[in-house]
Amino acid sequence: MGEHVRADRDQLAAMAARLDESTDGLRQAAKSDAPMPEVSVSADFVGHTLAELTKTIGALTAAVQHTASEIHAGNGSYGEVDNAAIDHLQFADRGEGAR
């Protein structure tokens, strides 16, 4: 258990930026309603399907953006948190208690 977790802050920031940018097209598409095709009998079904797709895309976009925000908020502290937990567990395992 001698290895410690390391997090490269620049790589994490780049990953968060790529995640956030990946939703640009979806956000733009969600701002406007898709044109309703003239399909007569199946128009209600097509409309319902388009509405469900729009809701799903919105939820997916929100989830990706939330993940990007969490990466930004962590600011690379993952290694510090994990290393502190490892140290705490190692002392507890030896019966020494927490530092």
Could you count the other beta carbons within 10 Å of the beta carbon of residue 16?
A: 20
Q: Checking phi first, is residue 30 left (phi over 0); if not, alpha (psi -120 to 50) or beta?
A: alpha
pTM for the model stands at: 0.56
Q: What is the tens place of the pLDDT at every residue in 57-68?
A: 888 888 998 888
Q: Which residue has the higher pLDDT, 65 or 31?
A: 65
